[in-house]
Structure 1
């Protein structure tokens, strides 16, 4: 299994792009497991993250204070193109070395942050729109270990909710989702 962030992002994007392509326009106002986001909002957020983290790979600043509306024209195709550019940006020599961003975080940490977002938000969108989603195994392994270290800080910053109780018989991915504050069984018996 690879540990190169660019390859992990490429594999995660290969799972996320079909989910985005599978979102129907009629579903854009539907709720998601992220209580503050509709499907429309979450698609905009994820697209903005994918674009912003391309800049962070290049050791440039990214503005996350506002989120533009990306859902016009061929937004599904644009997401696929931007996800490919994300993996390319992190494949550039030195992208995962040194520090990056306004918080001056290790680049490898920042790369794993976007890998986590791409993986978890793809699940959010799949769950909200009735699609199947299975994370890439290598990406899942990388974000699982990373999450153990990052979760307390993410909770303090209100990026994650409090851990959701892990259901009996939960998979490793369901446990990861619960650690981010998500109900891993959201929407399986009607909308929660």
Structure 2
């Protein structure tokens, strides 16, 4: 049985929250697989995504060109609060029906975009800070074909890098990361492979929901 976006986001949030809450203040200036973003900037970007996609679930207008400073005060606690609101927003009965965003994409497709950001950026932050991160199998099963379908448009709009080469033995997470242009073997200070880009579903989000990017390519 196909899981709802709310159920998938809840599973993704359960895996992402320990990563974000475990970030030490001394790690905020460190590099990430998104070369244009340090840890602080990537957390800030993920906050913006989580907040704006709550609004998209409610069919409200959003503006990704405005990025407030979220990483202040008890930002770890507030990130948990905002992800809970995201799950709640995408769990409302009927939320996956119809369309949302300026270009009128199917609502479930828009929900998959934030599911992708929450999952892939959690991996980015985990890899940058040395945290453990293993996405839920149900989330990977949904995102694998979903992001692969979005990838051609994302590359055309310079939001995904070229697919990173991985072997036939690569697992589902490595294949997902490779589709976005990320090197699954990336480590802080490493030189192997190409850096990923900030947006996992940025191209589709740009044209379909915001009209502006809100992300920076590596």
Same fold judged by TM-score > 0.5?
A: yes
The DSSP-based 3-state class of the residue aligned with 1:145 is helix
Structure 1 unaligned residues grouped into runs of 5+: none
The DSSP-based 3-state class of the residue aligned with 1:91 is coil
Aligned pairs for 1:54-133 (under 5 A) are 54-133=54-133
Structure 1 contact 5–111 (Cα < 8 Å) conserved: yes
Distance 1:71 1:137 in 2: 30
Aligned pairs for 1:15-54 (under 5 A) are 15-54=15-54
Distance 2:148 2:71 in 1: 34
Larger deviation: 139-148 or 116-125? 139-148
Taking structure 2 as the reference length, the TM-score comes to: 0.84
Larger deviation: 145-154 or 72-81? 145-154
Larger deviation: 125-134 or 62-71? 62-71
Displacement of 1:66: 2.3
Aligned partner of 1:180 in structure 2 is: 180
Displacement of 1:40: 0.4
Taking structure 1 as the reference length, the TM-score comes to: 0.96
Distance 1:71 1:116 in 2: 21
Displacement of 1:62: 1.2
RMSD across aligned C-alpha pairs, in angstroms? Answer: 1.3
Distance 1:56 1:124 in 2: 24
> Which digits, 9 at most, give the CA deviation of each residue in 1:145-175, with x for residues without a partner?
1112111111112221111111463211101
Larger deviation: 6-15 or 63-72? 63-72
> Which digits, 9 at most, give the CA deviation of each residue in 1:48-87, with x for residues without a partner?
0000000000011111012111011100010011001101
Structure 1 contact 2–8 (Cα < 8 Å) conserved: no
Number of residue pairs matched?
191
